[in-house]
Homo-oligomer: A and B are copies of this chain.
């Protein structure tokens, strides 16, 4: 979508906007992280691992991730039913992104905290 003045629209100002919405919306990172570590998991296992997520939200996020091709859902209509989720290859391809975040976190998070306390103490 272009503006009449020929300028780029605001979203274009940041080329990673779409992928940020995709990967870093609420709960998606913990879900992908968990599935990446533990492999194929049942619905209730994910729920318990995440701890505080409600079933409604968990289902929402899993559907979104499935639609985006990052997670694969397998449903077995047994009694009791069984639904299993696993990360896809496309999902695993995010590994370098996550690694970069882990590395940055390890190297710079303390400096962020220091900056915060500096800022707070200089203001009161």
Measured CA separation A107–B90 after assembly (Å):
10
A side interface size, CB within 8 A:
52
Q: Are B96 and A108 in contact (CB under 8 A)?
A: no
For A14, give its contact among B33, B90, B96, B114 (CB under 8 Å). Answer: B33
Task: Choose from B50, B97, B101, B108 the contact partner of A13 (Cβ within 8 Å).
Answer: B50
* Bound complex: CA A17 to CA B98 (Å): 11
Docked Cα-Cα span, A101 to B30, in Å, equals 18
Instruction: Report chain B residues within 8 Å CB of A79.
Output: none
Contact B13 A33 (CB under 8 A): yes
Q: Which among A3, A52, A107 has the greatest number of chain B C-beta atoms within 10 A?
A: A52
A104 to B100, CA, bound (A): 12
Give 1 or 0 for each of A22-66: 1 = CB within 8 Å of chain B CB. Answer: 101000011001100000000000000111110000000000001
> How many angstroms between the C-alpha atoms of A115 and B68 in the bound complex?
6
Interface residues of A in 47-105 (CB under 8 A from B): 49-53, 66-70, 90, 93-94, 96-105
Residue A4 at the chain B interface, CB threshold 8 Å: no
Instruction: List the 8 closest A-B pairs by CB distance, nearest first.
Output: A69-B115, A10-B51, A14-B30, A24-B24, A100-B100, A67-B119, A14-B33, A19-B105
